[in-house]
Amino acid sequence: MADVVWRPDAPEYLDDAIDYIRQFDPPAADQVGTRLIHLGASLTDFPRRGRPAANDTRELVTVPPYILTYRVVDDTVYILPIRHGARRLID
């Protein structure tokens, strides 16, 4: 099993996404937030299941259009800021 570590700014990006959705559909915002958190936690069992991406990262898109980007180093999964699919990866 891998350890999952959220990068310090990752929750801020998640909160921004949830706040944006909440403006239009509060129940959906809560569901998206919960699903993304569970998705990150599920990487303990299958850390390499996301598609390969740039800069030695991997991506999971199970809550469209949000992309969970992460990096696997040894037995640790580092979750990078969650981003909207229309935005470019900065890190």
pLDDT digits (tens, 9 = 90+) for 44-74: 999 999 999 999 999 998 778 889 999 999 9
Assign domain 3-84 to a CATH class: alpha beta
Residue 18 has pLDDT above 60, yes or no: yes
Long-range contacts of 4-8 (CB under 8 A, 24+ apart): 4/40, 4/41, 4/43, 4/44, 4/76, 4/77, 4/79, 5/76, 5/77, 5/78, 5/79, 6/40, 6/79, 7/78, 7/79, 7/80, 7/81
Q: Where are the domains of the chain?
A: 3-84
- Selection from 48, 36, 45 nearest residue 6 by Cα: 36
Band (17; pLDDT cuts 50, 70, 90)? confident
- Alpha helices in the chain, H assignment, sequence order: 10-22, 26-42
